[in-house]
Amino acid sequence: MRKTVRSRAMSRMVMMSLVVSSAVAQSNPRAQEVTPDTQTRGFWTDPSTKLTWAAKDSGKGMSYKSALKYCRGLRLAGFSDWRLATLAELQGIYDKTANAPGLSGPHGKDPDTWHVKGNLFLTDYEWAYDPSGIVGNRQKVFNFNEGRSNIESSGFWSSLRRALCVRGSGGK
């Protein structure tokens, strides 16, 4: 009889702790933002903007024009309407409290942490699409370590930047 009472009490405590844990996880918006399977699925959808992001950038350095071409040619998750993200869209997924693992360095092989939502895997600064086109062979890039943009040469010699592709309304 005592074992039954103890067993019931223990079951109730386990159930209560599960309910409390579930409520805490659901009330934390950051827990909903970062999905552990982003890399497995290959994409992440931002709950606030409904934009869908490739789970990782191009992984290799490329010119601005190559970045545009890379995203236009991307076939991921059954979609072919990917495009290079705008500066505003890149700024929208910057989160100084997020710490997503990635790479950096001259050869893109040094472990690094990037301040980006969705647990996206980044390997360097990202080219930003500008609907007005290239101005004087210079284009904006976004730095997810510092949360700011820079203007760089968009030609062949500036081939260290990456393409982070997005799909959904906006951009163009």
The pLDDT value given to residue 25? 33
Spatial distance between the Cα atoms of 24 and 170, rounded to a whole number of angstroms = 33
Tell me if 73 sits within 8 A of 65, measured CB to CB.
no
pLDDT at 107: 76
d(CA 34, CA 60): 24
pLDDT, tens digit only, all 172 positions of the chain: 555 544 454 444 434 433 333 333 333 334 334 455 788 899 999 999 999 999 999 999 999 999 999 999 999 999 999 999 999 999 999 999 999 999 998 777 899 999 999 999 999 999 999 887 666 678 999 999 999 999 887 765 566 799 999 999 865 4
Q: Which two tokens stand for residue 30?
A: 């950051």
Q: How many helices (DSSP H) and strands (DSSP E) are in the chain?
A: 5, 9
CB 164 within 8 A of CB 87: no
pLDDT at 153: 79
146-152 long-range Cβ contacts below 8 angstroms, 24+ apart: 147/91, 147/94, 147/96, 147/115, 149/87, 149/90, 149/91, 150/125
pLDDT for the residue numbered 11: 47
Name, in order, each residue with C-beta under 8 angstroms of 35's C-beta and a sequence gap of 6 or more.
Answer: 41, 44, 118, 119
Q: Name the pTM for this structure.
A: 0.75
Q: What is the pLDDT of residue 27?
A: 32
